Amino acid sequence: MTQARVVIRGSALEMGEHLLSVTKLATLTELINVMFSRYGKHLEVTWEVLPDGSTVKCSSPETAPEIVSPTSAPEINFKFDEPIAGL
């Protein structure tokens, strides 16, 4: 297995230690493996800074969402006059 040494400093280390307690993982190595395996692709796809200095442009929806005005619930005037049968 290939290994690499990673130096984590300051607030990033504090966040890592906090995430260890939240996730119940045993080591920062496990935490980093989980983060890369679960969120690595998302980071790659959403990263805005490209090597050539350009940025990724987010596509906007083709249609704007329709704004619907709220309506009140209908009045309920239901009366159950017949006995329940067949139980």
For residue 58 the two structure tokens come to 């987010």
Model pTM above 0.85: no
Q: What does the pLDDT look like over 67-82, one tens digit per residue?
A: 777 777 777 776 777 7
- Output the CA–CA distances (angstroms, integers) from residue 18 to 10, 15, 26, 60, in the order listed: 13, 5, 12, 35
- Cα separation of 26 and 10, whole Å? 20
For residue 87 the two structure tokens come to 């139980």
CB 55 within 8 A of CB 49: yes
Residue 44 DSSP symbol: H
CB 16 within 8 A of CB 7: no
Q: What does the pLDDT look like over 18-35, one tens digit per residue?
A: 999 999 999 999 999 999
